[in-house]
Amino acid sequence: MINSLGNVKIYVSTQPIDFRKGIDGLQSLVVSQMRLKPFSGAIFIFRSRRADRLKMVFWDGSGVVLVLKRLEDRAFTWPTATTDALSISTSQFQALFEGLDWRRVVPLHTHTPSGL
């Protein structure tokens, strides 16, 4: 599990990709398909056609990191959006990475008490 994401932005590509792509190919998709900046520090997530694999690429300040995960007996839940990229929360990302249905993860709304 990937921990301590802090306030990092996380983007999911809504279309499956050619899974032979490496770091350079994925960064090219970040620019051309997702219309985002690959060196922004955000995490960019892509899936295979069968949705049993995902790749993540991100800049960590000293280099580009590529992560691959394959689920053994099921598929990742993926958005059916009309846009090329979808922003998700860290809680949704953690559920997605574990192979859970991340669409059911809803963050709690917090508020500050008016007085003590």
Q: What residues contact 68, with CB distance under 8 A and at least 6 apart?
A: 53, 54, 55
DSSP secondary structure code for residue 99 in this structure: T
Q: What residues contact 58, with CB distance under 8 A and at least 6 apart?
A: 8, 41, 42, 43, 44, 64, 65
Instruction: Give residue 44's domain range.
Output: 10-103
pLDDT tens digit sequence for 59-98: 999 999 999 999 998 889 887 777 889 999 888 899 888 8
Q: How many residues does the chain have?
A: 116
Please report the pLDDT score of residue 103 as a whole number. Answer: 72
- pLDDT exceeds cutoff 70 at 17: yes
Q: What residues contact 51, with CB distance under 8 A and at least 6 apart?
A: 16, 75, 76, 78
- pLDDT exceeds cutoff 50 at 1: no
| 59: in domain | yes
Interstrand relation of 43-47 and 53-59 (parallel, antiparallel or unpaired):
antiparallel
pLDDT tens digit sequence for 105-114: 666 677 777 7
| 84: in domain | yes
| 110: in domain | no
- Total count of domains within the chain: 1
The pair of structure tokens assigned to 36 is 């985002």
Dist CA 74 CA 9 (whole Å): 26
| 112: in domain | no
Q: Residues of the chain with pLDDT > 70: what percent?
A: 91
